[in-house]
Amino acid sequence: MSNYPGEIIQIHIGQAGVQIANACWELYCLEHGIKPCGHLAYKPTDSSYNTFFQLLEPQCKVEPRIVMIDTEPTVIDEIRTGAYRNLFHKDTLITGLDDSGSNFSRGYNYLGIELLERAMEGVRKVAENCRNLRGFLFFRSIGGGTGSGFGSLMIEKLADHYPKTTKIEFLVFPSPSLSSIIVEPYNAVLATHFSMENINVSFIVDNEALYEVCASQLNVHTPTYTNLNRIIGQVVSAFTASQRFQGSTNVTFDEFQTNLVPFPRIHYPLISYAPLMPLKSFPYVNLTVESLTTAVFHPGHQMVRCNPQEGKYMACVLLYRGDVSPTDINSTILNMKRSGALRFVDWSPTGYKVGINAMPPSFVPGGDLSPSNKAVCCIANNTCIRRAWCRLIHKFAQLYNRRAFVYHYVGEGLDEGSLSDASANLCQLVGDYEDVDSLGSK
């Protein structure tokens, strides 16, 4: 990996996306020695912060490479007045005046068009300060109106302006049984349909899986969104560590698509993380590479509810960080291959890609996670993810077969045919995964 690998711009859209920003940038600042005001706590010994932060000389202050957008101001106003109010440049905090009403069409058409020019101008200004823009990292929920509607519009526009730049997203996906928005299936199906061709890799996260992690792994039985988002922040930190810190075997941003996505449409891998231990366990648990690796293949460490045993693996990327030995990693993976516990498709010749980074994980003071000197993030493309899409299509059909709430979408400028087209597209996506499943296992 070169000394200056390039920059990544993060784009947080809608309430969920902006709230995740709080957790992510809180952790990034801890990892790079940056105070909430943006000043460096100590003189850096390398340029690792350059991936996510721009240095403002000569004041020895940094600004995040970020754009936050919401159609109404409430959530971003909390950032404007919060502990990190001096960290972000005001031009990158972009808000409208009206709520999207949990309506994809309203976010995509009416409110989206009003905000789009300002949002693109914000991205352009951040991109101008990049020497080697490597990619965009999106955060949004596809169950509401802004993340699904405006998020899809924004991604389309960025695909036009930056067609060769890698685009990866973290999606808050509708949970199997937890939902506060009755039209969530419409929004999620439309968002997936409109974005599928413009995103390289999408990581799915659902709140139900995060609630389960909090209850079963961290002994937090009544979690807030702060608890959930800090878990996401830790996962994102592990995923991006190799983009920021020098490592012996780093995985670059564009390599994720190369290694994980055998066919362009099948770009929704599972993501999991270990260790997930409650704070009271520290420092009593002795973590080994083998125990961490075994844990990330357990459904209880996944960020979305589905069972990998019901599908087949097409590819797997294991991102280790901290005090890990390459010898232990090779031995662990060899034992896994010999055991045959994980079913891979026949045409996946190697199956595993490994990244090793010496920088240990950081932890938020007062958080739920126990500190650890090592961690692993597993990103696995497994056909079992089709179960999540099947659940979503079924819920969509329950609404659409009765034409429930369709007039809300048509009234905001959506062609009714887009709903049936979107459903057909997702049915085809499930068919794509079933085709892969039928190719055999090894």
Query: Has 184 been annotated as catalytic?
Result: no
In a domain, 21, yes or no: yes
CATH code of residue 306: 3.30.1330.20
Domain termination site, one of 385, 401, 426: 385
Do both 209 and 279 map to the same domain?
Answer: no
Do both 406 and 381 map to the same domain?
Answer: no
Do both 52 and 163 map to the same domain?
Answer: yes
Decide if 152 contacts 22 (C-beta within 8 A).
Answer: no
Q: What is the pLDDT of residue 102?
A: 93
Residues 366-377: b if buried by 16+ CB within 10 A, e if exposed:
ebbbbbbebbbb
Looking at every residue in the chain, the average pLDDT score rounds to: 91
Q: What is the pLDDT of residue 237?
A: 95
Report which of residues 228 and 341 the model is more confident about.
228
Averaged over 164-176, what is the pLDDT? 92
Measured CA to CA, the distance from residue 87 to residue 231 in angstroms comes to 22
CATH code of residue 423: 1.10.287.600
Region label for 337, one of left (φ > 0), alpha (ψ between -120 and 50) or beta (otherwise):
alpha
Asked if pLDDT for residue 386 goes beyond 90, the answer is: yes
Averaged over 370-380, what is the pLDDT? 94
Do both 289 and 180 map to the same domain?
Answer: no
Do both 110 and 214 map to the same domain?
Answer: yes
Averaged over 77-104, what is the pLDDT? 94
pLDDT band at 351 (very low <50, low <70, confident <90, very high): confident
Averaged over 57-75, what is the pLDDT? 91
DSSP assignment string, 338-378: HHT-S-BBTT-SS-EEEEEE-PPPP--TT-SBPP-SEEEEE
- Domains in the chain: how many in total? 3
In a domain, 71, yes or no: yes
In a domain, 262, yes or no: no
In a domain, 379, yes or no: yes
Measured CA to CA, the distance from residue 91 to residue 122 in angstroms comes to 6
Do both 428 and 326 map to the same domain?
Answer: no
Measured CA to CA, the distance from residue 81 to residue 101 in angstroms comes to 25
| Set 72, 208, 212, 255: catalytic member | 255
Q: What is the pLDDT of residue 284?
A: 63
Do both 303 and 198 map to the same domain?
Answer: no
Do both 226 and 211 map to the same domain?
Answer: yes
Do both 242 and 288 map to the same domain?
Answer: no
Do both 121 and 164 map to the same domain?
Answer: yes
Do both 302 and 168 map to the same domain?
Answer: no
Do both 363 and 410 map to the same domain?
Answer: no
Q: What is the pLDDT of residue 441?
A: 47
Q: Containing domain of residue 109, as a range? A: 7-246
